[in-house]
Amino acid sequence: MKDEQGMNRRDFLKLSGKTVGTVMAAGMLKFPFAQNAFGSNGNSADKVVILHTNDMHARIEENADDGIMGMAYVASIVKDFRERYDNVLLVDAGDTIHGRPIANVLEGRSVVDTMNAIHYDVMTPGNHDFNFGYDRLLELEEDLECELVSANVTRDGDLMFDPYTVREIGGHKVGILGLATPVTRYTTHPDNVRGLEFGSVVDATEQYVSELRGNHDVDLVVALGHIGYGANNPDEAEVRTTDELVRRVDGIDLFIDGHSHTRIPEGDKHGDTLVVQAYEYLKDVGVVEVDFASGSPEISARLISAEDAFSNYEPDEEMKDLLSQAREDAVDARLGR
């Protein structure tokens, strides 16, 4: 839980980010507002846009050959949306801070810096975010401007993170619940998660969805889960996939998923829940528009691919500088300087 001062600092940074975005807006779109492919129906006070990433595995650097846009393009996309929409949230569904030399020798520091630079709002840790040990994750949490949420990770019976956060944006109350895959306990070195319990995602979801609806009266329930999309083994007692989970549990409007590296171009509807996931390695950025005009949320989803990003945006200069610095820091760290 961040203290009040932390909130103020975050709000201040958000404001300053907005100002920077305004100054830079003209330069970052290749064809400013010439086409509205990413804006669909346009801004309105009734609308909240949620931008989402997952499974970047520290691919913060552009790699056009592999179709990876990197954080400099993500930054331009995010700034563009914040320019064009009043109510924008930016979230990440985990497996974020570990996976490339630029991050690993700095134990995730460089990824945290890039996330702070574009003011992520909420993240849920994935299994690989425990790869530097959970102490390191808690240390990075102190530096992360965004909130970490996870409703089923406990240590000695106590939750390690806030289970959810409620964001009031443009008069709309959005509850965002975090979920971690139970496989975390054996997909990272045992030392990294010693003493941690990864509890039932069904139990955690039922408990906190009813808390969000009952106690907080939210207008939208979002599950931000590093769970993974795909067929479940029906013989297994434990629910391990998002599709199985949303079939079992009611009350989630939007499930922003990760872990399985699945590209879901327009989201998949399961009952009343729309499940979205934005592939892997920053090859896509997910865009969800939630329209509250009719009284109940109407949700649509799409992806901005690296190809879309390369042809419509310029990479953000500030982020490019930050990435150069990160590369230097990584070399220094490797050489023990």
The residues that touch Zn ion, with contacts defined as CB under 5 A, are 95, 126-127, 259
Rank residues 75 and 227 by Cβ distance to Zn ion and give the closer one.
227
Q: How far is the CB of 250 from Zn ion (least distance, A)?
A: 26
Q: How far is the CB of 168 from Zn ion (least distance, A)?
A: 30
Task: Tell me the backbone φ, ψ of residue 12, rounded to 5 degrees.
Answer: -60, -45
Q: How far is the CB of 183 from Zn ion (least distance, A)?
A: 8
Residues in the chain: 337
Rank residues 76 and 104 by Cβ distance to Zn ion and give the closer one.
104
**DSSP state string for 51-75:** EEE---TT--S-BGGGTB-HHHHHH
Rank residues 17 and 228 by Cβ distance to Zn ion and give the closer one.
228
Rank residues 225 and 315 by Cβ distance to Zn ion and give the closer one.
225
Task: Tell me the backbone φ, ψ of residue 64, rounded to 5 degrees.
Answer: -60, -35
Task: Read off the tokens for 337.
Answer: 């300087």
**Left (φ > 0), alpha (ψ -120 to 50) or beta: where does 192 sit?**
alpha
Rank residues 54 and 205 by Cβ distance to Zn ion and give the closer one.
54
Q: How far is the CB of 115 from Zn ion (least distance, A)?
A: 17
Please answer whether residues 253 and 223 qualify as being in contact, where contact means their C-beta atoms are separated by less than 8 angstroms: no
Q: Which of 195, 183, 189 is nearest to 227 (CA)?
A: 183
Q: Which of 67, 44, 63, 17 is nearest to 308 (CA)?
A: 67
User: What's the CA gap between 303 and 175, in Å, rounded?
Assistant: 22
Tell me the chain's radius of gyration from C-alpha atoms.
19
- H and E: helices and strands count for the chain: 10, 15
Q: DSSP letter for 162, please.
A: B
Rank residues 21 and 182 by Cβ distance to Zn ion and give the closer one.
182
Q: Which of 87, 46, 88, 86 is nearest to 295 (CA)?
A: 46
Taking CB atoms, the residue at the shortest distance from Zn ion is 259
Q: How far is the CB of 256 from Zn ion (least distance, A)?
A: 14
Q: How far is the CB of 275 from Zn ion (least distance, A)?
A: 16
Rank residues 131 and 273 by Cβ distance to Zn ion and give the closer one.
131
User: What's the CA gap between 101 and 87, in Å, rounded?
Assistant: 35
Rank residues 91 and 117 by Cβ distance to Zn ion and give the closer one.
91
Please answer whether residues 125 and 180 qualify as being in contact, where contact means their C-beta atoms are separated by less than 8 angstroms: yes
Q: How far is the CB of 188 from Zn ion (least distance, A)?
A: 10
Q: How far is the CB of 198 from Zn ion (least distance, A)?
A: 12
